[in-house]
């Protein structure tokens, strides 16, 4: 499953770069209606396939696979220049949160380091939820080891 996830990211890194034709109206769509531009089929396919991979990894219970998946998912975006592709990459950070319970303390520390490399422009609520889940797991582990 890790290899499949890696392939998805490599493929989407190229396909997602192909700029979609946008009009002036597209730039303002959503400002007044509360709804943004619909994602392109390539975006939807990527998001669904990543979600499926992440769920299979979570279901497997394999902490090493969960860590590798987190590394792949958090490896992008790195560009500070806005693109639809990078928004989708950032949205996929939400797929790491369910994997947190499978990670050991060292892996959680590495994931936190990877998160620091994400440009601030792409630190959306899903990023913050992931960080909170990691910190909560650290606190929970610390309090349970202190009670033993």
- Dump pLDDT digits (tens) for 60-86: 999 999 999 999 999 999 988 888 889
At 85, give phi and psi (nearest 5°): -60, -45
Q: Which residue pairs from 11-15 have beta carbons closer than 8 angstroms and sit at least 24 positions apart in sequence?
A: 12/42, 12/46, 12/85, 12/88, 12/89, 13/76, 13/85, 15/42, 15/46
d(C-alpha 1, C-alpha 82), whole Å: 30
Return the number of other C-beta atoms located less than 10 Å from residue 121's C-beta. 14
What confidence score (pLDDT) does residue 48 get?
Answer: 97
More confident residue, 116 or 80: 116
Q: What is the pTM of this model?
A: 0.84
Average pLDDT, the chain: 87
């Amino acid at each position: 499953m890790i290899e499949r996830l890696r392939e998805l990211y490599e493929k989407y890194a190229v396909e997602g770069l192909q700029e979609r034709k946008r009009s002036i109206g597209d730039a303002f769509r959503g400002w007044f209606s509360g709804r943004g531009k619909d994602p392109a089929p390539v975006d939807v396919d990527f998001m669904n396939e990543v979600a499926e991979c992440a769920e299979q990894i979570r279901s497997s219970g394999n902490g090493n696979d969960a860590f590798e998946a987190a590394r792949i998912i958090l490896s992008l975006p790195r560009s500070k220049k806005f693109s639809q592709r990078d928004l989708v990459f950032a949205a996929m950070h939400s797929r790491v949160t369910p994997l947190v319970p499978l990670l050991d303390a060292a892996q959680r520390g590495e994931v936190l380091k990877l998160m620091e490399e994400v440009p601030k422009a792409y630190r959306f609520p899903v990023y913050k939820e992931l960080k909170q889940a990691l910190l909560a797991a650290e606190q929970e582990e610390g309090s349970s080891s202190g009670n033993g």
